[in-house]
Amino acid sequence: MIPAVLGKYSEVLDVGRASRLFTKAQRRALLLRDTTCRAEGCSIPGTWAEAHHLVPWSHGGETNVDNAVLLCSRHHHRAHDAAYDMTRLTNGDYRFARRT
């Protein structure tokens, strides 16, 4: 048995550590919440974006909507690049700055 959090129509929104990849229902929920890439100033549509674990799966992060953000391919790569810091802004967007 795998515990899961379900949405209004019984779609799986939180599977904890049972799965690394986001479900279609989770991606739909992210698309409704984020609508575009959440990097500051980026307007790439969420339909073209990738779901990113804020706390990485490799560091114990769970696969759920609260631990995810939509990022375009460019910003998703930056999120995993040690040369960049990723900071959450008060409006919910993320700023990427090269480390010095």
At residue 100, the pLDDT reads: 87
Rounded to whole angstroms, the Cα distance separating 74 from 79 reads: 9
Side-chain half-sphere exposure of 80, counting CA atoms within 13 A? 14
Cα–Cα distance for residue pair 18/80, rounded to 1 Å: 22
Residue ranges of the chain whose pLDDT lies below 70:
1-18
Q: In CATH, what class is 5-98?
A: mainly alpha
Amino acid identity of residue 68, one-letter, is A
pLDDT of residue 3: 46
For the chain, the average pLDDT equals 88
Pairing state between β 84-88 and 94-98: antiparallel
The structure's pTM equals 0.81
The residue extents of the domains of the chain are: 5-98
